[in-house]
Amino acid sequence: MPQDQRANTAPLRPLFPAIEPYATGVLELDAPHRMYYEQSGNPKGIPVVFLHGGPGAGASPVHRQFFDPAAYRIVVFDQRGAGRSTPHGCLENNTTPHLVADMEKLRKHLGIERWLVFGGSWGSTLALAYAEHHADRCTGLILRGIFLCRKSEIEFFLYGIKNFFPEVWHTFAERIPEAERGDLLKAYYSRLTDPDPAVSLPAARAWSVYEASCSTLLPNPSLVADFGADRVAYGLSRIEAHYFKHEIFLPENFLLDNIDRIRKIPAVIVQGRYDIVCPLVSADDLHRAWPEAGYEIVADAGHSAFEPGIRSRLVAATEAFKARLA
């Protein structure tokens, strides 16, 4: 079983310096979707693809910085409906099988034979789904903040967080009339999909701020402010509620039931001990089903990839794969 990885047992690793893409593009998907992607680092380096969270959160420039730009060919893209992909917040033809197919289309478009797959939170969900469908295209997996999108996890997100962040939960829940609070997902989904921005945007901000407020071990006002911005909140909340409502468009427990498909892929799981958005039990369940994967619990961290201990372990993982795949 894993030992808690404490911040004081080894020097913390910083992110790599900020870099700009050497190429950007838009990949035409099935109508109406168009997907933004970029490449940075070394064009002849080890291919790695970064999968952002949410679903619907979109990628940011800082996500390039988990990888040594001299060694990696870093592929970052915004999943359909998210970030710089268009139409923003679009739910039409937006399912997990679509996203898996989009990754394959992008891989082929870029002429990449196999790549390292890096994903946290919802990105870990998508990474597992992709690998279980295309194991032969994965050189390895780096997973953080495990989310298997089971009914119990969705229920915890909507109600269980109250046990740890009661004041944040009450702010989230009390935006909904009391008569509808027995099904917060249904209540929020109806508002998030309302065509009137006067209805959808306040609901989007409430949902997104709720998630951000619970994502770090210590309060992070800048993260909450970022998640509360209209564009971020709209894409994240709509697409997240859409996937939750449809149980990620995969059978219950699909990701654990199909671990045998990826058992031989080298993998590292990094999990914050005090992750409230994606509680530790999911990472533990994944590790028990897949003991061959490396598993590290960061003792002094919550959910965010930028918690110091988590950031450090993720960079260590990319460095270890750099040596392995060189």
Catalytic amino acids?
121, 275, 303
The CB-based long-range contact list for 7-10 (8 Å cut-off, 24+ gap) reads 7/298, 7/299, 7/300, 7/308, 7/309, 7/312, 10/312
- List strands edge to edge, sheet with 72-77: 4-5, 294-298, 267-272, 138-144, 115-120, 46-51, 72-77, 34-41, 23-28
* CB 243 within 8 Å of CB 149: yes
* CB 149 within 8 Å of CB 99: no
Helices and strands, counts by H and E, the chain: 11, 9
Max intra-chain CA distance, the chain: 58
SS3 38: strand
- Amino acid identity at 307: E
**DSSP string for 1-26:** -PPEE-GGGSPPPPPPPP---SEEEE
Phi/psi at 23 (nearest 5 deg)?
-155, 140
Sign of CA dihedral 119, 67, 212, 166: positive
* CB 322 within 8 Å of CB 46: yes
**DSSP string for 126-150:** HHHHHHHH-GGGEEEEEEES-----
